[in-house]
Structure 1
Amino acid sequence: MMFRFFSAAALFVAACLPAQAFETRATAAWVYDVTTHTVLMDKNGEASLPPASMSKLMTVNMLFEALKDGRIAMDTTFGVSAHAVSFTEAGGSTMYLQQGDRPTVEDLIKGIIINSGNDACVVVAEGLSGTEAAFSEQMTERGKALGLEHSNFVNASGWPAPGHRMSMKDLGLLSVRLIEEFPELYTVFGETDFNYKNRAPANSRNRNPLLALNIGADGLKTGHTQEAGFGMVGSVKQGERRIVFAISGMTSDTERAEEAERIATWAFRQFALKTVVKAGAQVAQAAVFMGEADTIGLVPAEDVKLLIPALAQDGLQAQVVYTGPLEAPIAKGTEVAQLVITVPGLPEHRVGLLAETDVPKGGFMKRLTTAALKLRAEYIGTPAS
């Protein structure tokens, strides 16, 4: 018979109090530590909201994927339609394209990311899919495939439209994808100025308020419409850690800038990255059935790093969980258990534990002894008739 074993003796570190509570002024917010895959804050994070220009990140993703697939190159040029130019005439953010222009893909990437150009988004949509409507459908379909569960795209730019929605969680997850899947292209998010053909009178600068603060900010996108308020998706890297956050519903660009900096400061100052178990360090032993050895060491494959709230006082909660005894033979490096660690105020953290050594199946005498012990245990445990 197999049993589920729990051991709390595997790890002894101080238990922690939750990080000091953070009350954000945003109506919806999602804050994520990319390094440890930890959600630090979730306030209405799954609510589908008008994302304004923040949804341009999905247009950028589609463009980056086309580059990665080889369908286009950085020097590929696209035509500019009257439909694209109409967004400049309507007064939205723009890279000041005109009919007859042939911007390159590189121009358009900068025009979307740095200038937040609605015209650039339409050019990309039409260049990749023929029409903006077809591109929007493809964005929605691709978003679902990427796990964006609360997103629906009606256009390429985030222009106010019924049904055009994203959640802060989806924006955060999409941002992590852009950072991790396209590291060379992602660097454009940190650039501060782009002026296509020197046409921009005053607003050619990147609107990200964190880029000038020297705090490690390198992306991603702001957004604003009357319905959505002022929002932002940001990323900041300090040392080994990177955080991504998405906020919405701020009342002004000043409040947005202040809240973005407050969130970044809180995420780095209220949590410390600690190595709680080294790779290959034995954290427990598991019982083995019918093997040459009666126990086997359990070790993590990599360093176990956790975010520890700054106000730490007593002890982390840790358990080793496995279904056992483990039946021989067991190959070294096989995952046979999990280390489950909980920190108050943060999600549960699970780490696979591997067999530290090989355990061959026991020989004839070992199997005979084990069978005899099992029979004796069953005999002793049989109630009298």
Structure 2
Amino acid sequence: MKKATVLLALTAGALVAPGHAERPRYDGDVPIAYMVDMSSGAILFARDGNRRIPPASMAKMMTAHVAFDLLQEGTITLDQECTVRPETWRQWHGPEAGSTMFLSPGEQVSIENLLYGVVTVSGNDASVVLAECISGTESAFTALMNRKAEELGLENSHFGNSNGWPDEGRTYVTARDLARLAISTIQHYPEYYSQFYGRREFTWGETMGGQPITQPNRNPLMGNVDGADGLKTGHTQEAGYGFTGSAVQDGRRIVMVLAGLDSYSQRIEQSTRFMEWGFNAWQSLQLLTSGARVGSARVQGGSSGEVGLVAPRNLAMTVPAGLASERQVRIVYQGPVRAPIAEGQHIADLVIETPDMPDQRLPLVAETAVGERGFFGRVWAGLKSLIGLG
């Protein structure tokens, strides 16, 4: 089907100083790094973003994503109780089993508390117990993880377990895919994201002396960067130290990924520096407010011959801080769009072309629903085509 393109003239507000926008540079000593501005979809930085890497505990982001999806569907509930199998406890208990929620054999734990164990304190035991509770076996749950990865377009990711434990290379991701996974979680499950990723600490289990065990969230941005509220750290000898993080400031949200770092302290330092660079070196300029009509698209086989295109949310573009830049804005869609069309359906993109920058693509949705053309309408359309009026 032919791609339709419409050129637009949009203003983005006054900037501090006119001039050609050169892409800001980031010189952090990191082997793998990736950053996306969610307000515009712009990729602000990419270093080896498509290299396959072991995710360590960052794999738990997919475990949580699958659980959030099932919660939203109503397949599971937060108050649903799960039993800690003694075999699972033995496998994921003790210093050789990595991060733990400090579960006990035979214990009954709600899905809500297991998710705190997975997300807030990165418990390997919590991940496996959750997986077994939802799907019967961990391997059945990882099938759900891989199905979701395919659905999200994570082309270079595969999951062999629920917690990211080294498994001879069966589990791998890329920084780009981790960013896409984080963005999907934030966009589709905002309430669950806020509840579980934004928590500062979680208490579960007891010491030998009977004292409750409280563990802090390992997020290195919390307390160091304003607006930090997610997502997951990861560390194994194989993977090094990694982190997928997000923060929001003045309504602008950035998602970042670092991987292959050498130490815990380097992860804190580089994560903080990288996120601060994202907010300071770039600025977001609003293009359209939510619901603003931009243009229209042709409709094939519909009760109407065209449908309005509107912004589904406030849409912005990202440019280097303090500089204006030449830009071209286009509406692009695969047209004509075939009816029926639902109101709010994504049917086109606003594409922003800026020198020295990758294209920024923002979604446009149908302003109204368009039903299929009735029988007599189809006959009339055929007659018009035959006599050259269509």
Shift of 1:111: 0.6
> How big is the shift at 1:239?
0.7
Letter in 1 for 2:326: L
CA shift, 1:84, in A, is 2.4
Aligned residues: 332
Corresponding residue for 1:376?
Answer: none
Q: Deviations over 1:132-179 (max 9, x none)?
A: 122222211221122111111111111111211011111111111111
Find 1:346's aligned residue among 357, 366, 372: 357
Distance in structure 2 (CA, Å) of the matches to 1:131 and 1:336: 39
Contact 2:32 2:49 in 1 (8 A): yes
- Deviation (angstroms), 1:318: 1.9
Whether the aligned pair in 1 keeps the contact of 2:327 and 2:352 (CA below 8 Å) is yes
Decide which of 31, 38, 42 is 2:35's aligned counterpart. Answer: 31
2:386 — aligned with what?
none
Dislocated runs of 4+, deviation >4 Å: 4-15, 199-203, 276-284, 298-304, 319-323, 335-340, 350-355
**CA distance in structure 2 between the aligned counterparts of 1:83 and 1:226, rounded to whole angstroms:** 25
1:19: how far off? 3.5
Change (3 A) 1:246 1:278: closer
- Residue 136 in structure 1 maps to residue 139 in structure 2: no
Q: Contact 1:279–1:299 (CA<8 Å) still a contact in 2?
A: no
User: For residue 318 of structure 1, what is the aligned residue in structure 2?
Assistant: 328
Aligned Cα root-mean-square deviation (Å): 3.6
Partner Cα separation in structure 1 for residue 188 and residue 294 of structure 2: 34
1:48-63 pair list within 5 angstroms: 48-63=52-67
Aligned pair partner of 1:165 in 153, 167, 172: 172
Alignment partner of 1:195: what SS? strand
- Cross-structure match for 2:183: 176
Q: 1:346 to 1:99 in 2, by over 3 A?
A: same
How far residue 273 of structure 1 moved from its aligned partner, in angstroms, is: 1.4
Assess, with a 3 A threshold, how the Cα gap between structure 1 residues 197 and 350 changes in structure 2: closer, same or farther.
closer
AA matched with 2:64:
V
User: Partner residue of 1:71?
Assistant: 75
Please give the residue correspondences for 1:141-152 in structure 2 after superposition, counting only pairs within 5 Å. 141-152=147-158
- The residue type equivalent to 1:210 in the other structure is L
DSSP-derived class of the 1:196 partner: strand
Larger Rg: 1
Q: Does 1:210 align with 2:221?
A: yes
Letter in 1 for 2:100: T
1:227 CA displacement: 1.0
Partner secondary structure for residue 207 of structure 1: coil
Question: What residue is the counterpart of 2:21 in the other structure?
Answer: 17
Q: What TM-score do you get using the length of structure 1 for normalisation?
A: 0.76
Q: Residue 140 of structure 2: SS of its match in structure 1?
A: helix
Q: Which runs of 5+ in 1 are unaligned?
A: 285-297, 324-334, 356-385
Describe the shift of the 1:5–1:345 C-alpha distance in structure 2 as closer, same or farther (beyond 3 A).
Answer: closer
Pick aligned residue for 2:106 from 84, 95, 100? 100
Answer 1 or 2: which has greater strand percent. 2
Q: Which residue of 2 aligns with 1:259?
A: 270
34-43 vs 274-283, greater mean Cα deviation: 274-283
Task: Give the aligned residue type for 2:238.
Answer: E
Cα distance in 1 for partners of 2:68, 2:257 equals 21
Counterparts of 2:157 and 2:127, CA distance in 1: 18
Instruction: Answer whether contact 1:16 1:311 (CA < 8 A) is retained.
Output: no
Amino acid at match of 1:116: S
2:255 corresponds to which residue? 244
